[in-house]
Amino acid sequence: MISTNLTGLVLAMISSAFVGSSFIIKKKGLQLARVNGPPASVGGYGYLLQPLWWVGMVTMIVGEIANFVAYIYAPAVLVTPLGALSIIVSAVLAHFLLKEKLLKMGMLGCLLCIIGSIIIVLHAPEEMSLSSVQQIWKLAIQPAFLSYTASAIAVTLFLVLYCAPRFGQTNILVYIGICSIIGSLTVMSVKAIGIAIKLTFEGANQFFYFQTWVFTMVAITCVIAQLNYLNMALDNFNTAVVSPIYYALFTAFTILASAIMFKDYSGQSISSIVSELCGFITVLSGTTLLHSTKEPDPPVNPDLYTPLSPRVSWYIQGNNESWKQKEEDVSPFNLIAIIRQDHFK
């Protein structure tokens, strides 16, 4: 069991390294694309022609695959919180490669993330031994987890149908709450699929069972919905605010779902459980501190890249008086009338 957890830990750290690096590589590609055309922030797609951007995409895919495999060998309560390490990798590389200054408080945030991660690793529960996808299915249909799933679906529907149309663009917790709750079900499904793939490679084909395909459909549906509402959150709110809140809620709901379904904390002492929660709070504090001290990217002037619109900006000087008109639709006849009025005064 210890070696299994160690494998999952190593894979989670590799995943964080690749995912954190991918952000920097992709951003370098975006910067190169900006030199020759409009940036992505104003609708440009020149980055698709940049090999460096694609290197970043491949790096991210490798990181996500490593994260997927990590869920096979270690409990979600260990793997999910360690995702914060990618933030440290990204911040440190950005300091050296992108010249984005890492302030002293940001360094303290990195240190808190490392300390919290160590605490989580030292007190993480052991992975449950599972020999078939049918065992996972039995865990998924136990009354406690069915109650959690029903509650998650009910709250999600309430947020989507009632809260999102009314408060989605003003309250940051609406969109993040939706993708965090759905994300916890995504992780449970992905873990089940990962274990099914592992057992299949070991010679016991799990894809003959309908349960494997149910988990697959749930995972695909949840991932699509999760990404949709996460994009809405990022589109409406500052990334420096979205990232720590999303990390906190997503990790909390994932830990809760995993504890209910896989009984991760069964047999653990109270001190171990409290220590792991303290580790999670420490990582959360470091993540919040790191994002709150991050310098924002300089704004891009879209006027440099957008085509000329029919709006007219003009400036007329006459009889020591000035008229200035900006961004208003001006008829050429009105403009002529103004010039004549000024001329014959």
pLDDT tens-digit map of 226-274: 988 987 887 788 766 777 788 888 989 999 999 999 988 887 889 989 9
pLDDT in the model for residue 3:
62
At 239 the pLDDT is 66
- Structural domain range at position 191: 131-263
The number of domains in the chain is 2
What pLDDT was estimated at residue 42?
59
Q: Are residues 117 and 144 in the same domain?
A: no
SS3 label, residue 250: helix
What are the residue ranges in the chain where pLDDT is below 50? 1, 302, 304-333, 335-340, 342-345
In this structure, the answer to whether residues 105 and 143 fall within a common structural domain is: no
Tell me the residue ranges of DSSP E strands in 151-270.
Answer: none
pTM as predicted: 0.74
Whether residues 151 and 243 share a domain: the answer is yes
5 and 99: one domain? yes
Residue 68 lies in a domain: yes
Residues 119 and 22 in one domain: yes
Angle ∠(97,99,103) on CA atoms, nearest 5: 120
- Looking at the structure, do residues 189 and 278 belong to the same domain, yes or no? no
Q: Are residues 258 and 138 in the same domain?
A: yes
d(CA 186, CA 254): 9
**Model confidence pLDDT, tens digit, residues 24-70:** 898 888 888 888 777 765 567 787 888 998 998 899 899 999 999 99
Give the pLDDT of residue 275: 93
Does residue 207 sit in the same domain as residue 105? no
Determine contact, residues 74/262, Cβ cutoff 8 Å: no
